[in-house]
Amino acid sequence: MNTLILSSSLSENSRSYLLCKAVEQELISKGNKITFFDAKEIPMQPFHREISKEMKALTEKIAKVDNIIIGMGVHCYSINDSLKILLEGCFGKATGKFFGILCAAGGERSYLVTQHLTQICMNEWRMMQLPRIVYATGKDFTENTITSKEVFERIELFSEEFHTIGNKLLA
């Protein structure tokens, strides 16, 4: 299956980026084709402004792939601003696609925030979500590395289920 992974954080030390990269490795090892988009490399314009060629490329790729994984950081108990811009600007052809969420937060109390992204994707584009999220907090990382055994286990489980269900939906 062809999967697009979108890492939506603009942070140079992004933890959700590390989650995206770990899941990318898992899915590649299962034989899937991955296209990785890193928001740090996408010049962004808000809606009602002319979008960049990188945003156009993301829009076109979203139309073509089988499914999508979104990496997000929690900002002010919601999704971050760059992800909102990319959703509004680039997800027009994501209708009906299977998707998954990988989330990095500062603390454990923001775990329900991923549901903001669920609401947007399901209500706006009738996308279908894998009912499992990888949610990690600051204590799961040391410098720029994932160090939590539990998070690694969840990454493996998420990837296995995304691979299995994603392929079944293609059949």
Task: Give 108's contacts (C-beta < 8 A, 6+ positions apart).
Answer: 137
Q: Least distance (Å) from ligand FMN to the CB of residue 116?
A: 11
9 binds ligand FMN (CB under 6 A): yes
**CA neighbor of 24 nearest in space, from 40, 37, 5, 39:** 5
For residue 13, report the phi and psi dihedrals to the nearest 5 degrees. -110, 40
- Which range touches ligand FMN (CB under 6 A), out of 68-76, 114-122, 127-135, 147-155? 68-76
User: With respect to ligand FMN, which residue has the nearer C-beta, 13 or 164?
Assistant: 13
* CA pair distance 30, 171, nearest whole angstrom: 17
104 binds ligand FMN (CB under 6 A): yes
Binder of ligand FMN out of 74, 117, 146, 155 (CB under 6 A): 74
Q: Least distance (Å) from ligand FMN to the CB of residue 170?
A: 29
* CA pair distance 36, 5, nearest whole angstrom: 5
**CA neighbor of 170 nearest in space, from 86, 65, 44:** 65
77 binds ligand FMN (CB under 6 A): yes
Binding site for ligand FMN (CB under 6 A): 9, 11, 14-17, 73-77, 104-107, 110
